């Protein structure tokens, strides 16, 4: 399924959950992420669902005028209720194909919640370390959600299992808009100033 073919200013792959979480903060941040991408002429690449944070973020990006590319396996279409309002919706056979297409469509990656999305950030982060891509990877640490993970990674460096340069390949921040701006700039793309940012 395809829609608008206008080339976006940039494309960010955001991994987030099909549940809303226990506090309103998670939904607010998901909405903020989608809205920022849309207002700045960007493209959101995500898992293709319409429930939880996924749907909130996609709806916000669309409402703000952004392109939204959803990628979802057939097996999850009924479980996650595929978002048929996406600019592009790719229904694939496997999770591996899903991850590949999401990576191919992105200039940068940003996990934002849900426990198994740490696996995805480790994957794209590892790919960058190995030279399979040179796209920036960010970690949106909303409400201290990833504090324990970051402490664990710091311990890995202290104990000699990782190097400082590896940690430098991942951007972290608690402010969604600042982190997105940093990722877009690091990717060598330009986020046009939105009218709202000029007020």
Indicate the SS3 state at residue 49.
Answer: strand
Distance (Å, whole) CA 151 – CA 6 = 41
State in words which class domain 11-187 has.
Answer: alpha beta
Give me the pLDDT at residue 199, please. Answer: 36
The alpha-helical segments, DSSP class H, found in the chain are: 24-39, 52-63, 74-80, 95-104, 117-129, 147-158, 164-167, 176-186
Span 125-181, pLDDT tens digits: 898 999 989 999 999 998 888 899 899 999 999 999 999 999 999 999 999 999 999
Span 18-35, pLDDT tens digits: 888 888 999 999 999 999
Indicate the SS3 state at residue 127.
Answer: helix
| pLDDT bracket for residue 184 (50, 70, 90) | very high
Give me the phi and psi of 88, to 5 degrees please.
-135, 135
Sequence spans of domains, the chain: 11-187
Task: Pull the structure tokens for residue 8.
Answer: 């976006």
Distance (Å, whole) CA 30 – CA 34 = 6
| pLDDT bracket for residue 119 (50, 70, 90) | confident
Q: Cβ distance 43 to 62 under 8 Å?
A: no
Q: Which residue has the higher pLDDT, 197 or 154?
A: 154
Distance (Å, whole) CA 44 – CA 176 = 14
Task: Pull the structure tokens for residue 185.
Answer: 């700039």
Q: Cβ distance 68 to 57 under 8 Å?
A: no
Which residues contact residue 22 at a Cβ distance below 8 angstroms, ignoring those fewer than 6 apart? none
Give me the phi and psi of 45, to 5 degrees please.
-110, 125
Distance (Å, whole) CA 192 – CA 131 = 29
Global pTM reads 0.88
């Amino acid at each position: 399924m395809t829609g608008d073919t206008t080339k976006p200013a940039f494309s960010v792959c955001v991994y987030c959950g099909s549940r809303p979480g226990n506090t309103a903060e998670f939904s607010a941040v998901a909405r903020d992420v989608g809205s920022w991408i849309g207002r700045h002429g960007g493209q959101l690449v995500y898992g293709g669902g319409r429930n939880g944070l996924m749907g909130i973020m996609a709806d916000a990006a669309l409402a703000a005028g952004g392109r939204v590319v959803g990628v979802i396996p057939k097996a999850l279409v009924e479980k996650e209720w595929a978002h048929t309002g996406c600019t592009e919706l790719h229904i694939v056979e496997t999770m591996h194909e899903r991850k590949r297409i999401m990576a191919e469509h992105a200039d940068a990656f940003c996990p934002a919640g849900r426990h198994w999305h740490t696996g995805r950030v480790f994957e794209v982060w590892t790919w960058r370390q190995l030279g399979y891509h040179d796209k920036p990877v960010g970690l949106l640490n909303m409400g201290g959600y990833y504090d324990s993970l970051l402490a664990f990674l710091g311990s890995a460096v202290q104990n000699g299992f990782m190097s400082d340069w590896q940690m430098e390949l991942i951007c972290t921040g608690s402010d969604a808009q600042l982190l997105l701006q940093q990722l877009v700039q690091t990717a060598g793309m330009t986020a046009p100033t939105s009218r709202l940012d000029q007020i």
